[in-house]
Amino acid sequence: MRYADVIIENTSPQTDHPFTYRTELDVVPGSKVRVPFGRGSRPKDAYVLSVAEEIPEERKKGLKAVLDADPDVVLPPDASELSAWLRERYFCKYIDALHCYLPAGSASKRGRQRVPYAAEEVVREAAPQLTPQQEAVLAELLPAVEDGRGAQFLLHGVTSSGKTEVYLRAAAACLAQGRTVIMTVPEISLTGQTVERFFRRFGREEIAVLHSKLSAGERYDEWMRARRGEARIVIGARSALFAPLPDLGLIILDEEHESSYKSDMAPKYDSAELAERRAAWYGAVLLLGSATPSLNAMKRVQDGAYRLLRLTERFNKTPLPRVEVVDMREELKAGNRSIFSRSLYAKMQSCLANGKQIILFLNRRGYSTFLSCRSCGYVMQCPDCGIALTYHKEADAAVCHYCGRRFPLPKTCPDCGSKYIRHFGTGTEKVEEAVRELFPEVPAERLDLDSNRKKGSGDAILKRFRKGQTKILIGTQLVAKGLDFANVGLVGVISADVSLNIPDFRSPERTFQLITQAAGRAGRGDEPGEVVIQTYSPEHYAVEAAAAQDPARFYRTEELLRRQLGYPPYCDLIQIVVATEAETEAMEAGTKIRAALLRWLGAEEAPLLLGPHPAPINKVNERYRCQLLLKSPPAKEERFFRALRRLQEKVLAEKEGVWLLSIEVNPYSLL
């Protein structure tokens, strides 16, 4: 007889702990089992955390037996340990963490294998000749991969410097050792391009693809191929980090700086932290890459945790693009009220005349950013979330970008009855309309969340652009990252101020990264490209550093500010949000939470606890939100996290269902 500690498939916080069952089945940590649970002993799914040959006699009394085990679904051997870590680090439930490891969907009833990218033509290609810098990087990286000793690297390479070829060579070295590889990209829209590169190098059979835009059946079959060792490389977005590959030898995070690597649902994990844990468990190599590394990654280099590798030149020796910053205040003074500055419009004409393609970047979807009455100043807001609605001309509706609700456009102001209600601001839809008006004969397309909702739609848009069928591509950050098109001669950043003016301490970093990444899409062929950055803040250090293509200059300024203000990466910033049905109760709850935390932490820690105050988005799903921010220095982490877990337990015991409490470590949005 053996004894298994299991986590029950149940979302209730009351069952968020292991239950012990006796078993004679051949189960291991990670096994999916069926157990009798509760008073009625109803069969429930559960997942084995640990198995013991013996337990104390007093614990054996009344134990129920495991009913059966699923022979197909067995989680990776590290799932138990990492799920416990995710629970402690990110204040989630065991079952939320375990769900990350589970496959979507189920086996095909007809026994047919569902294969994504089956229509892709695969023509195997030989590896190209390396540049001297690539050779130098690989000379440092490959010994760690080949020796099977865990190591962590940050590859800082300018745009178009050949980082992907480094990934491919590292993956090949890992496969040669009989080990497996996880390759992640920050956006699903980038998966197709990466899959194509890996198909051409390794063939289709070696590769499984995992991301949420695949059907549940496709994801299940790809998960099973990885678990059985049929596919030795898994490519996908952040969820691919949980792939059940045997003997994991290499994890690659491309564009590691991207905020999409931070999960926005429980568990709200940071992909780099998770990848470090998984790599350490397997003794695997972790390789992070970016043209604009995050401050977190650069701090890890300073601390000696990551070894820094550099690619400072483009692989084809083409110079970095020429960058021009246009002060839009001067455009207004000159009478130009167009979306496009005079310089950008002239360069677009010249670029098209020379047979080159254009990318226009604006990190704001929709047609206009808000609807307002010019008579009384009324702004149309979502009644559930309390934020301004965005006008979408294509849908002819006002849309909440937080909860997704849509509202018809009023003919008159709901507040004063005036007919002067209009939409203001600019989104990607309006940019697309302006392009079609100015260049009616030029094929143009838009790539953003709205145009990329259907499966395969984003890949189709990018393929048409790659083939030259589309001449102008307009989009949000989806067009600013990782795309490699040789014929792009011009990139226009329509408004650098969109990300700069978000109320968040990371706004300068995001602005620098987005501008640099967008600019990097230009001039990737044999001729240098051009970039036009339109802004109302040309003197801001993030804009100046991005325009000068000088990351060291940006990091010096930003690191100094973060250190002085005590923001990440010099501490953990923990967001505590409590939501209640009554607005006054939300603030009262926040006040009680502050008092409780200071009782447990000590009054001397009061400067590190900010708030309570209404959350920037004060109302979501008919509940009012109050926010506190706790700065947790590394030396105080254990004590601070212990107090937060105590808070979580207290709210659950005394206010379950009345207060909705959320605790997030290092959120990428404070809204």
Short-list 248, 218, 219, 251, CA closest to 232? 248
The pair of structure tokens assigned to 353 is 């005349």
With respect to residue 385, please indicate whether it lies within any of the assigned structural domains. no
With respect to residue 619, please indicate whether it lies within any of the assigned structural domains. yes
57 and 157 share one domain: no
453 and 557 share one domain: yes
Distance CA 275, CA 255 (A): 14
Question: If pLDDT is split at 50, 70 and 90, which confidence band does 18 have?
Answer: very high
Could you count the other beta carbons within 10 Å of the beta carbon of residue 396? 11
200 and 249 share one domain: yes
With respect to residue 371, please indicate whether it lies within any of the assigned structural domains. no
Q: What is the CATH number of the domain that holds 517?
A: 3.40.50.300
Question: Over the stretch 512-531, which tens digit does the pLDDT of each residue have?
Answer: 998 888 888 887 767 778 99
225 and 84 share one domain: no
* Residue 522 pLDDT: 82
Short-list 419, 432, 332, CA closest to 392? 432
Short-list 348, 312, 404, 353, CA closest to 620? 404
Question: If pLDDT is split at 50, 70 and 90, which confidence band does 403 have?
Answer: low
- Domains identified in the chain, total number: 4
Distance CA 297, CA 565 (A): 19
* Residue 622 pLDDT: 85
Weakest-pLDDT range from 138-147, 347-356, 357-366, 644-653: 357-366
541 and 649 share one domain: no
95 and 180 share one domain: no
- Please check the confidence at residue 71 and state whether its pLDDT lies above 60: yes
* Residue 423 pLDDT: 66
Question: Over the stretch 590-640, which tens digit does the pLDDT of each residue have?
Answer: 999 999 999 999 999 999 999 999 987 888 888 999 999 999 999 999 999
- Please check the confidence at residue 472 and state whether its pLDDT lies above 70: yes
When pLDDT is averaged across residues 154-159 and rounded to a whole number, the result is: 93
When pLDDT is averaged across residues 561-580 and rounded to a whole number, the result is: 95
* Residue 15 pLDDT: 93
475 and 579 share one domain: no
Contacts (Cβ under 8 Å, ≥6 apart) of 31: 4, 47, 48, 69, 70, 74, 75
- Please check the confidence at residue 80 and state whether its pLDDT lies above 60: yes
> Is the pLDDT higher at 192 or at 225?
225
- Please check the confidence at residue 173 and state whether its pLDDT lies above 90: yes
* Residue 321 pLDDT: 85
- Please check the confidence at residue 448 and state whether its pLDDT lies above 70: yes
Between CA 172 and CA 182, with CA 178 as vertex, the angle to 5 degrees is 60
Distance CA 377, CA 125 (A): 61
Question: Over the stretch 278-308, which tens digit does the pLDDT of each residue have?
Answer: 999 999 999 999 999 999 999 999 999 999 9
When pLDDT is averaged across residues 109-129 and rounded to a whole number, the result is: 85
178 and 142 share one domain: yes
Q: What percent of the chain has pLDDT over 70?
A: 97
With respect to residue 566, please indicate whether it lies within any of the assigned structural domains. no
Burial class of residue 602, CB neighbours in 10 A (0-12, 13-18, 19+): exposed
* Residue 387 pLDDT: 64
Question: Over the stretch 242-271, which tens digit does the pLDDT of each residue have?
Answer: 999 999 999 999 999 999 999 989 999 999
Q: What percent of the chain has pLDDT over 90?
A: 66
- Please check the confidence at residue 430 and state whether its pLDDT lies above 60: yes
- Please check the confidence at residue 459 and state whether its pLDDT lies above 90: no
Which residues form the domain of 460? 322-365+427-561
Weakest-pLDDT range from 116-130, 567-581, 590-604: 116-130
Q: What average pLDDT does the chain have?
A: 90
